[in-house]
Structure 1
């Protein structure tokens, strides 16, 4: 734990700076931003090569970027440190875990100084690392401080005055306190920085130098380590003599006697202002993305996640991560599909994406998007590294746009229907008028005395001609709207259905429909037109949703299932919990222009059956044991179909139209 950091800040640092989109090179103006960071910052490619550095690095090392790119073969890193640095860096690049190390870097004048180097991966919306951000903080003085402090403590029994002189020479801030926590000594550098004397700092007078916002937390933590007797560290802001506050890392270590009893506390304060500024810069980027990160080890179901996940799920920070906590927040209507997705990913071990809703304790609904990347860990199976993003605002905006688009589509359909109706009326009116006239004439000729048989025969021929003209009009209109070419391919009905469900999910949720997918694990491919088959699936699902629109007092349950039929054909079934279909209408609903809906045209099921029959399949409806109806279509799988090309099925399509 880092003293002075909240759990959320610490996890933000550990998990990386958030999602940076799909960019591979820094955005315009990024040079000025990273140059303004008061620390040495570099960007590395996903494979670990140096991509960009800020001004502070080039000024410190005294070399241009193209020379720095060859750092592994140069003396930029101290030769004694280079092998371990390369090994640790390549481990982080290969595993995607944060890089952290301390090693020496050569200054432009040839002097090596110690640096604390930290590398964090930046990931896109799919969880892929797009670059690494590396922060280098000079800790040379701190390293020397530790050596001097160790030397001073070794000689403490020899000379208290000598100890004071040595400690005052240390460039850092050094202090000591009694076992009860009363400060009895601070070195001269501490006094010079704060503007306080040793006498003013002793006891608890030193607390006057702590920032008011940090003092309560530091006091609680200080009492905690005094009681435990364990070393600790805390981050807080100290006031400089001119009133300016800077961040410091405050460390405290106990000195014990032979019995293990604490006889003295020794500590040091290290300036971390530059590091804090860089961390804040990176933390803001993750916070703005509203994205939490987590990992899931499948073999043990061990889950860890960042504070941003707690914020999105609105869970208490003390809640242990796990599926139990997750399902406390998943919307009840989405739990079935969410469990089915988790079950599928346990087997597959492949990258995946999933969107679902969360139901908050106050009744509000959130939309979230889950993006996960699979990492193999032999022999322990695999692990998912994932991100959870709150997309509520985006979904609400999409719903508004969808509603507007639906209204425009409805207006377009009304206008189109009016035009088609007018065209049919105009084209068919003339031959129908001719048929009526000819029929009347024929009757008069046959009723004459004597009957005019030759005239009646000619009039009958004209009647037949006008009837054929009316039929030609209908054929031309049908040809105008028919599909003349199709694309034949192998189709996975599971995947095709999932795509349709993903497209309709928002509409189903708005209508209160609870979807339960039940897809067969292994399903043979079928051969046909993917778009036409998805048109049938879409039509069946939308019909089922409409059939349940008037249902109140019981759940609107919709089950979409796939499997192999008894005749080895592949089937897809859509089962609703509506009021059902009258038995006498169970077959008539597939007739063109027959409908049981007040607003329907009666063409959807007719077209759907036509499409399935073109694929050598069949479509039927059956009543459920309980409420509702099940619509099922079955198609021979690809190995059962005769060898045919696109033209054969396309010809059958035109003929059946």
Structure 2
């Protein structure tokens, strides 16, 4: 076949991209098979100007304008355009047009190819929309990628870049002087990059890169910036798209005397052709180099020896089915490399047809997908580990598109809620699973989401179909990578076992505290009795003696007077005992410091959260921002807050006809004070006994000692503050509030 001219139409039909030719005036006179397959139009309806029908109406004016300019310039050019596929779907292409000239330099024909850039442009758009992990972005793009800083320093390259150049990252950083770019192209690349760095605009250049083996390949280098939310440039991405094939196709079309085998042998892919009966006929040099074998060794079916034994039968079955159908086909199998290593390849084949549509030959390409296969296997393992980890941790994850109502759940979350896996999850189904007493928490969470809170958190109970109860802790965070769309990502953790352990521990602690309280009360009562009984006994004895002395004849006035003096002494002694007891509950050593009252209250609420949850009390915190600091002893004030919260919870312990809600808030007073208020929805108190609530040993509880509020008031007053109680104007419950002076005020 050497020395024979090859029909350009056959060459164009063998290309894996859409290609066409046009007369010097731009009228299309030929389209290849790929064009017809993509558009669903044959030569008769795709020639001349009728190809406009498959062009997007929005792009057609710009296409015609750009085409006119290219024809007028008589120079190569490219046009971005969207073309309609046979199924009605539009995809983005870059039309690359080059003139073919005769020996005198006159244009005898125009040749063009259509590069499908849909996936690439989608990747570029995705990079602009999302701030993803840099290494993940770089490695996920299936072309060589270089990442540079806003000032042009190389920061990262993907694996394909390193493999292509065969250099380390440090060597590639010196790309200007490292000889990686063809000397004739280096200056143009530098100028284009510096212009983009200065203007912030994307650029697009073609250049030749030197591969690790010393050969050069043409690349289309597209540089575009990654910007932050403020519009500033965070990184520069440079995508190098191998256009060597298209360049070589242009050369082949311009100089048809070159042998087809020479062109194919230069392509960095395993390319082959087969006869009509399926026996191998031609293998390019890259194919032979990969196998480490000669053409005679792999011709006919000799190439099957390089296929992994486990894959041969399946590959042959697909190959037989493809030949029978006379349609393009594909299969995956492992091939043995010259060094004894098997790698996965994607076998793609298409038939070459004559002008009558009859298959005359098969062309194929084997694409190395070993890295993709390994990545897929690693992904499957990671997903399996994640699912197992979630099952062990009893944790599931979810996403919720608030505007559309779309909810996605992991398998473990279906298990926690005991929903049928894979069924549609709706908000109504979720709320229906809530414990009736906790439904209010569901609406409170929905309210937070509707407000657009960045973080949401809730603990609630689920009532399962078998009437068992589960405790769930939910955490959600609003995603910020899609402006204008409210999406929450979060986890739900089954804490039933932990809650049961906490309740058992709290019960044991409560019983121990009750025993300690009873013991302390008994000891305190015995001590008071002992201290007071002694002077009282003296008073009674002295009074009896005084009466006898006065009743004597004659009356012993002097002795009675002495006895009365001893009676007065014992009375004062009893008063001292009472004073000491009062001092025991009222005197505190106060160490003033600057304290954030809201932050201090948050610590107390967090400390008591498990007790409040056990009592089914929901707390609404309203801590004002920017409040001045107060001067107090932090520990003593925390004791007061804890006592008020405990009293509020106790006041609602018998409430079953309404939610047990408690609010705690801080606010500024007009007299240089800061107020903290605790309000409950409990049983309240008798307004006639408001002040008695703060008397020592006065209590409305069956098991209370009556000293908590008395001690709390003495602590607040020792800080020059005030503590008081009030009933709400409407509704049940009571509120207790105290105020403290501003630190240094």
TM-score, normalising length: structure 1 = 0.54
Give the Cα–Cα distance (whole angstroms) in 2 for the partners of residues 325 and 86 of structure 1. Answer: 58
The answer to whether 1:631 aligns with 2:734 is yes
Indicate how the Cα distance of structure 1 residues 334 and 465 shifts in structure 2: closer, same or farther if over 3 A, else same.
Answer: same
Structure 2 counterpart of 1:432, from 533, 537, 546? 533
Indicate how the Cα distance of structure 1 residues 167 and 590 shifts in structure 2: closer, same or farther if over 3 A, else same.
Answer: farther
Identify unmatched segments of 5+ residues in structure 1.
4-9, 21-38, 93-101, 122-131, 347-351, 649-657
Q: Look up the match of 2:476.
A: 370
Q: Report Cα offsets for 1:329-361 as digits up to 9, x if no partner.
A: 887343243244335546xxxxx5432247788
Give the Cα–Cα distance (whole angstroms) in 2 for the partners of residues 519 and 573 of structure 1. Answer: 10
Q: Look up the match of 2:445.
A: 338
Match runs of 1:38-117 below 5 Å: 60-62=166-168
Count of aligned positions: 542
Contact 1:528/1:615 (CA < 8 Å) preserved in 2? no
Give the Cα–Cα distance (whole angstroms) in 2 for the partners of residues 417 and 212 of structure 1. Answer: 85
Q: Report Cα offsets for 1:100-124 as digits up to 9, x if no partner.
A: xx9998888988888999xxx9xxx
The answer to whether 1:619 aligns with 2:722 is no
3-state secondary structure, aligned to 2:569: helix
Match runs of 1:237-316 below 5 Å: 238-240=333-335, 246=343, 269-274=366-371, 277=374, 288=386, 310-311=410-411, 314=414
Q: Report Cα offsets for 1:616-654 as digits up to 9, x if no partner.
A: 3532245964xxx42224567xxxx9xx66589xxxxxx
Structure 2 counterpart of 1:560, from 654, 658, 663? 663
3-state secondary structure, aligned to 1:461: helix
Q: Look up the match of 1:457.
A: 564
3-state secondary structure, aligned to 1:442: helix
3-state secondary structure, aligned to 1:445: helix
Give the Cα–Cα distance (whole angstroms) in 1 for the partners of residues 260 and 169 of structure 2. Answer: 42
Give the Cα–Cα distance (whole angstroms) in 2 for the partners of residues 212 and 533 of structure 1. Answer: 81
Contact 1:48/1:90 (CA < 8 Å) preserved in 2? no
Match runs of 1:240-639 below 5 Å: 240=335, 246=343, 269-274=366-371, 277=374, 288=386, 310-311=410-411, 314=414, 332-342=439-449, 345=452, 352-357=454-459, 365-371=471-477, 388-392=490-494, 397=498, 400=501, 404=505, 407=508, 411=512, 414-415=515-516, 418=519, 422=523, 425-426=526-527, 429-430=530-531, 432-448=533-549, 449=552, 450-451=555-556, 452-475=559-582, 477-478=584-585, 482=588, 484-489=590-595, 491-492=597-598, 501=605, 503-513=607-617, 515=618, 517=620, 519=622, 525=627, 528=630, 538-550=642-654, 554=657, 556-560=659-663, 572=677, 574-576=679-681, 580-581=683-684, 583=686, 587=690, 589-608=693-712, 615-616=721-722, 618-622=724-728, 625=731, 629-634=732-737
Q: CA deviation at 1:90?
A: 13
Contact 1:572/1:634 (CA < 8 Å) preserved in 2? yes
TM-score, normalising length: structure 2 = 0.49
Q: Report Cα offsets for 1:155-200 as digits up to 9, x if no partner.
A: 9xx99x97688557644255899xxxx9999967789989999988
Q: Report Cα offsets for 1:109-148 as digits up to 9, x if no partner.
A: 988888999xxx9xxxxxxxxxx9x9999x99x7656766
Indicate how the Cα distance of structure 1 residues 507 and 466 shifts in structure 2: closer, same or farther if over 3 A, else same.
Answer: closer
3-state secondary structure, aligned to 1:274: helix
Contact 2:308/2:334 (CA < 8 Å) preserved in 1? no
Contact 1:370/1:386 (CA < 8 Å) preserved in 2? yes
Q: For the pair shown, which has the larger CA radius of gyration, 1 or 2?
A: 2
Give the Cα–Cα distance (whole angstroms) in 2 for the partners of residues 90 and 384 of structure 1. Answer: 36
Indicate how the Cα distance of structure 1 residues 462 and 321 shifts in structure 2: closer, same or farther if over 3 A, else same.
Answer: same
Q: Look up the match of 1:172.
A: 269
Q: CA deviation at 1:463?
A: 0.6
Contact 2:649/2:680 (CA < 8 Å) preserved in 1? no
Give the Cα–Cα distance (whole angstroms) in 2 for the partners of residues 283 and 86 of structure 1. Answer: 43
Match runs of 1:642-653 below 5 Å: 646=743
3-state secondary structure, aligned to 1:239: strand
Give the Cα–Cα distance (whole angstroms) in 1 for the partners of residues 196 and 411 of structure 2. Answer: 33
Contact 2:535/2:571 (CA < 8 Å) preserved in 1? no
Contact 1:250/1:267 (CA < 8 Å) preserved in 2? yes
3-state secondary structure, aligned to 2:697: coil
Give the Cα–Cα distance (whole angstroms) in 1 for the partners of residues 168 and 524 of structure 2. Answer: 81
3-state secondary structure, aligned to 2:593: coil
Give the Cα–Cα distance (whole angstroms) in 2 for the partners of residues 412 and 164 of structure 1. Answer: 92
Q: Report Cα offsets for 1:13-59 as digits up to 9, x if no partner.
A: x99689x9xxxxxxxxxxxxxxxxxx999999999998999999699
Give the Cα–Cα distance (whole angstroms) in 1 for the partners of residues 586 and 314 of structure 2. Answer: 78
Per mean C-alpha deviation after superposition, the further-off stretch among 613-622 and 163-172 is 163-172
Q: CA deviation at 1:484?
A: 1.9
Q: CA deviation at 1:384?
A: 7.9
Q: CA deviation at 1:444?
A: 1.9
Give the Cα–Cα distance (whole angstroms) in 2 for the partners of residues 334 and 81 of structure 1. Answer: 61
Contact 2:676/2:738 (CA < 8 Å) preserved in 1? yes
Q: Look up the match of 1:30.
A: none
Give the Cα–Cα distance (whole angstroms) in 2 for the partners of residues 212 and 596 of structure 1. Answer: 88
3-state secondary structure, aligned to 2:735: strand
Indicate how the Cα distance of structure 1 residues 359 and 166 shifts in structure 2: closer, same or farther if over 3 A, else same.
Answer: farther
Q: CA deviation at 1:438?
A: 3.6
Q: CA deviation at 1:558?
A: 1.3
Indicate how the Cα distance of structure 1 residues 488 and 365 shifts in structure 2: closer, same or farther if over 3 A, else same.
Answer: same
Relative CO higher for 1 or 2, CA cutoff 8 Å, sep ≥ 6?
1
Contact 2:336/2:343 (CA < 8 Å) preserved in 1? no
Q: CA RMSD in A?
A: 7.3
Identify unmatched segments of 5+ residues in structure 2.
1-117, 120-125, 137-142, 201-205, 227-233, 391-395
Q: Look up the match of 1:652.
A: none
Indicate how the Cα distance of structure 1 residues 135 and 581 shifts in structure 2: closer, same or farther if over 3 A, else same.
Answer: same
Q: Report Cα offsets for 1:574-632 as digits up to 9, x if no partner.
A: 333x5x2464896355544344444443444445555666533532245964xxx4222
3-state secondary structure, aligned to 1:593: coil
Match runs of 1:224-239 below 5 Å: 238-239=333-334
Give the Cα–Cα distance (whole angstroms) in 1 for the partners of residues 684 and 737 of structure 2. Answer: 21
Give the Cα–Cα distance (whole angstroms) in 1 for the partners of residues 420 and 348 of structure 2. Answer: 29
Give the Cα–Cα distance (whole angstroms) in 1 for the partners of residues 313 and 283 of structure 2. Answer: 23
Indicate how the Cα distance of structure 1 residues 318 and 75 shifts in structure 2: closer, same or farther if over 3 A, else same.
Answer: farther
